[in-house]
Amino acid sequence: MSKKPERHPCIRCSRMPDENDKYCAVCGAPVLNRCSDEPGILKKGCTFVNPPTAAYCVKCGEPTLYLTHGLLQTAYPSANKPSSIAGFR
């Protein structure tokens, strides 16, 4: 039996979502802070449910939905972006 993720009040408007809501009915914010790495034809994807304060997925390191929707700010804006190495472009 799979355990359902714990529900928290909406990060934007503080409304408590209904059990089956994926997005807040009042402001449209995602209810769960999932990894933004969605499954596709050629990749499995992640979609791990992260803590509400996580800007990056604790399982794979990709940005979370809260970060991509502008609901969180990170102390390291260039995190998870490759840096250019001198001599390579």
Domain boundary assignment for the chain: 32-75
Q: What share of the chain is helix, strand, coil (3-state, %, to 5)?
A: 5, 10, 85
- pLDDT for the residue numbered 36: 94
State yes or no: pLDDT of 68 exceeds 80: yes
User: pLDDT tens, 2-61?
Assistant: 567 677 899 999 999 999 999 999 999 999 999 999 888 888 899 899 999 999 999 999
Query: What integer is the mean pLDDT of 60-89?
Result: 76
Is-contact 10 66, C-beta < 8 A? no
- Torsion sign, CA atoms 49, 55, 57, 62: positive
State yes or no: pLDDT of 87 exceeds 60: no
Tokens encoding 1 = 């039996």
State yes or no: pLDDT of 82 exceeds 90: no
- pLDDT for the residue numbered 73: 84
* pTM metric for this prediction: 0.77
